[in-house]
Structure 1
């Protein structure tokens, strides 16, 4: 029946051909979504994928499933765009771990990314290019997907930033990114203004309570330095300020300076 409708309207209403074609396309998609709801995943076997034109920045979870993703994979795509992630070009889809190369090639001709992403579509209005605003990410709380959306970072550096952040206990200055493997000055300068720094998110080192295991993975300290901090405390009592920490002979002034923003001298 659906295949007859375009011919019928084209004969009766030739001047409204575009409107009719759009209406039919929408109806077809609605029918496909109804099929998906009526035939959910059964016994681990997904509904066969369908192909249709789609904008990945505005695709619904049901549509992602129609394209071949599982419900969990579709949810990841929705979270990515909901948090501000954007696909600027087709190839950006390859960055998503659930999109295989075979899947990308199958979708390729159907991916239609709108140049005016934030504007309502009007095919009769002249297009005016609007430079996209840079994506901002909170350096101490962003996950890898959010960091990957920052221009110049990419998935590999997003993972390194998060891993080093966990080891440090958070970043107290952006320049600490230069301590990450293969983060050079050029890349750092390209991304630093797209990152927001919140020092309140730091994980503090309670120097009067810590034991060896609490600091064994800290990138600023070696095992013998951790041991010296604890032994000095046992011999001389609790630390009261940074000046007392500097009395630990094995700690260089540079090391103490780097640790200072993380140190808490509480006695409770």
Structure 2
């Protein structure tokens, strides 16, 4: 009966018989198998000997929970801040009260439901001399939509004295009431213009200043070129003024130098230089047709300049 050989001898016999390994090669194979086995079992050994993570204390758990709640609250706060309010919320914020549109400030307009930008545009209109004389004047403002006007109309009350300053003056000083009159705009001074209903001292000064740069007005619509004088204001005053185009101060295009041209609002520096250089190179201008040869002058500019030039 044969004695059973140990396993390692069986493996050695099998390896050397089938793979024809030398003793050195056999030992190398055993070392490699040992390393592979060690690599496989090392993680399990490390895990069994490594310290276990301690569970969080109640205090730490509560602290983390509190931080989470703070983050959530902060997020909700920011979301509410940037969220556009719905119609119901906007309506809830509106406070309607009796008001004079010539007197209230930005804050009051906001309480009535206007945005800051809309309210500021109304104050800008008033600062430029604009005034509300009757309830329907409020409807003409671009910042007031038909829906908003319908909501505000029952609460609009325009006092006879206009602004607070005017009320004070009415109580303490007898001021003449402006009547609808007819003023010739090219000869009127600031005192005459101030008599026109809708033109205060500020607009009177601006009109006279712009008239000086132009050389006079040849049509009423040019008044809308005056800073701050919009179509609403123009419609208010146009029936009270007259214009005599024969009073315009004209420029002799064949003798005028740069200094004479430079203040005219219809000409830019490059255009003035072109007019003077063309005159030097080609001689005197004989008619408006000669100006059309200057490409730098548009047909609109030539049309605007025509009443102010003489040849």
Question: What TM-score do the two structures reach when normalised by structure 2?
Answer: 0.45
Post-superposition shift, 1:223? 0.8
Alignment partners' CA distance in 2, 1:229 and 1:133: 46
- 1:206 and 1:195 mapped to 2: Cα distance? 28
* 1:243 corresponds to: 289
SS in 2 for 1:229: helix
Structure 1 segments unaligned to the other structure (5+ residues): 1-88, 96-103, 116-131
More helix by share: 2
Residue-pair matches, total = 151
Q: 1:173 and 2:207 equivalent?
A: no
Work out the CA distance in 2 between the residues paired with 1:114 and 1:156: 18
Paired with 2:187 and 2:304, the residues of 1 have a C-alpha distance of 21
Q: How far has the Cα of 1:114 moved from its partner?
A: 9.4
Distance 2:225 2:218 in 1: 13
User: Could you say if the C-alpha distance between residues 230 and 134 of structure 1 is closer, same or farther in structure 2, counting changes exceeding 3 Å?
Assistant: same
5 Å-filtered alignment, 1:121-136, equals 134-136=180-182
How far did residue 108 of structure 1 move? Answer: 4.8
In the other structure, the counterpart of 2:209 is 163
Q: In angstroms, what is the RMSD of aligned CA positions?
A: 2.8
Structure 1 residues 113, 215: CA separation in 2 closer, same or farther (over 3 Å shift)?
Answer: closer
The structure with the largest alpha-carbon Rg is 2
User: Residue 90 of structure 1 contacts residue 108 of structure 1 at CA under 8 Å; is this kept in 2?
Assistant: no
Contact 1:152/1:191 (CA < 8 Å) preserved in 2?
Answer: yes
- What per-residue deviation string (whole Å, max 9, x for no partner) do you get for residues 60-85 of structure 1? xxxxxxxxxxxxxxxxxxxxxxxxxx
Find the aligned partners of 1:261 and 1:244 in 2 and give their Cα distance.
15
- 1:88-99 correspondence to structure 2 within 5 Å: none
